[in-house]
């Protein structure tokens, strides 16, 4: 019979066998695969973290860089680029209006000139904008220059240079009358009328003072037709919106000028004189026609002299005409009849006090108060008629 003490080693052995049998059996190959998988997972996690850092860096870098332009710059509607031209030789090439800005752009300048309905716009010296209806003061398309200065408000665009204009021209109707070289405008004039040039205002009064009016819608044709309807042969446009009519220059006017460069308020493609200068148009067929009257024929405009040129007889009238004067002198049989200063009439058979038909005057510019189509001499100037 076995004792408890003899069974103890047997029981211990059986417990050891049971413990071994309960434990999972792992082969060498499975153990190696698990180890490799663990290493791979660790490497994958490391690579994923690294990739995340790189991607984050890339996104950050992309967000801080400037976005490329998706389309090319386009000139504002209603305008086209012309060329780079040199400034005028005797003044600004574009003279109507201007402004400067520390944030100048092409768009700002063109919008500004559009506001004044000007057909030409020029940018200069990075921040200057000029507008006009013609190139003036010696500027021309043939006077090429270098436009290399960026706009103050847009470094990607050029805003002229030193003494050089980046020139733009309107594609709208306000540029329709511009000449091909942009230095003048072509105007369709009423039949019989033609331009006689640019003239300075009178020295002691208006150059043309027969009739006048002003309007914010003035152009060449409206002024000419106004003067024509009033019976005058001369029309003068001044300061952009003023119209003057007469049959001759007055108050010492007649001196030519070169500054008739202000656009018409009602026709920006046309010039309407300037400051104290008139763009003048004439129609000779409407000029005073009194070349003969009551058997007297017009001789000349001569200078009055101290003591009077004709001393035979005289008369005055607030309704004086050439016919009134010649009729008066004819009644007394005088050889000469002369009208002066609008309302005065003088008669004589010869000239006195050194007066002569050879001493011409340019001051016979006053219309007769009784007939606006006739000329009645001028200040110290006689329109002389002689009997046949």
Q: Which of 2-16, 170-184, 296-310 shows the highest mean pLDDT?
A: 296-310
**Chain segment 29-82, per-residue pLDDT in tens:** 333 343 443 444 444 444 443 344 333 333 333 344 444 444 689 999 999 999
The average pLDDT across 315-338 equals 96
On the question of pLDDT at 156 being above 60, the answer is yes
State the average pLDDT over residues 252-270: 82
Residue 279, pLDDT score: 95
Average the pLDDT over each of 219-223, 244-248, 380-384 and give the range with the smallest value.
Answer: 244-248
Would you mind telling me the total number of residues written for the chain in this entry? 388
Q: What percent of the chain has pLDDT over 90?
A: 50
The pLDDT score that the predictor gives to residue 33 is 41
The whole-chain average pLDDT of the chain stands at 82
Residue at token pair 């001196």: 255
Cβ-based neighbours of 87, under 8 Å, separated by 6 or more: 93, 124, 139, 145, 163, 164, 165
Instruction: Tell me the whole-structure pTM to 2 decimals.
Output: 0.48
| pLDDT at site 297 | 87
Give the angle subtended at the CA of 163 by the CAs of 87 and 112, to the nearest 5°.
Answer: 70
| Edge-to-edge order in the sheet of strand 242-246 | 194-200, 277-282, 234-238, 242-246, 211-214
* pLDDT for residue 28: 35
* Span 348-370, pLDDT tens digits: 999 999 999 888 787 787 889 99
Residue 218 has pLDDT above 80, yes or no: yes
Instruction: List the one residue out of 196, 194, 203 whose CA is nearest residue 363.
Output: 203
Enclosing H/E stretch for 108: helix 106-115
Tens digits of residue pLDDT in 365-375:
788 999 877 88
Direct distance between the N- and C-terminal alpha carbons of the chain, in angstroms, rounded to an integer: 193
pLDDT at residue 233, rounded to an integer: 86
Range 6-11 average pLDDT = 46
Query: Strands, E, within 161-266: which ranges?
Result: 164-170, 194-200, 211-214, 234-238, 242-246, 263-264
In tens, the pLDDT along 133-144 reads 888 888 999 999
Q: Hey, what are 62's tokens?
A: 């992309």
* Residue 67: CB atoms within 10 Å: 7
Task: Tell me the torsion sign for CA atoms 131, 137, 140, 144.
Answer: negative
Across residues 169-190, what is the average pLDDT? Answer: 86
């Amino acid at each position: 019979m076995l004792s408890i003490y003899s069974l103890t080693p047997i029981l211990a052995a059986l417990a050891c066998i049971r413990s071994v049998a309960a434990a999972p059996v792992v082969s060498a190959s499975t153990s190696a695969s698990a180890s490799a998988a663990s290493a791979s997972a660790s490497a994958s996690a490391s690579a994923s973290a690294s990739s995340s850092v790189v991607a984050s860096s890339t996104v950050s870098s992309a967000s801080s860089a400037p976005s490329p332009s998706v389309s090319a710059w386009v000139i504002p509607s209603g305008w086209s680029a012309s060329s780079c031209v040199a400034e005028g030789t005797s003044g600004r090439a574009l003279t109507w209006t201007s402004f400067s800005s520390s944030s100048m752009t092409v768009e700002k300048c063109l919008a500004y000139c559009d506001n004044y309905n000007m057909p030409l716009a020029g940018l200069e010296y990075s921040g200057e904008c000029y507008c006009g209806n013609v190139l003036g003061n010696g500027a021309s398309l043939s006077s090429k220059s270098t436009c290399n200065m960026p706009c103050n408000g847009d470094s990607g665009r050029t805003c002229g240079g030193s003494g050089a204009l980046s020139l733009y021209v309107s594609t709208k109707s306000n540029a329709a009358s511009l000449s091909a070289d942009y230095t003048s405008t072509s105007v369709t004039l009423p039949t019989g009328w033609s331009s006689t040039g640019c003239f300075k205002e009178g020295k002691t009064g208006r150059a043309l003072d027969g009739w006048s009016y002003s309007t914010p819608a003035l152009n060449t044709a409206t002024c000419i037709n106004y003067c024509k309807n009033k019976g005058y042969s001369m029309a003068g446009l001044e300061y952009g919106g003023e119209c003057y009519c007469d049959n001759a220059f007055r108050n010492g006017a007649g001196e030519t000028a070169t500054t008739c460069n202000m656009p018409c308020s009602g026709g920006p493609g046309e010039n309407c004189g300037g400051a104290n200068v008139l763009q003048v148009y004439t129609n000779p067929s409407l000029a005073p026609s009194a070349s003969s009257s009551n058997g007297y024929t017009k001789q000349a405009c001569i200078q009055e002299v101290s003591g009077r040129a004709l001393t035979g007889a005289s008369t005055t009238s607030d309704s004086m005409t050439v016919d009134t004067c010649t009729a008066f002198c004819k009644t007394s049989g005088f050889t000469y009849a002369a009208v002066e200063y609008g309302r005065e009439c003088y008669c004589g058979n010869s000239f006195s006090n050194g007066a002569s038909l050879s001493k011409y005057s340019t001051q016979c510019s006053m219309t007769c108060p009784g007939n606006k189509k006739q000329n009645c001499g001028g200040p110290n100037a006689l329109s002389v008629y002689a009997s046949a």
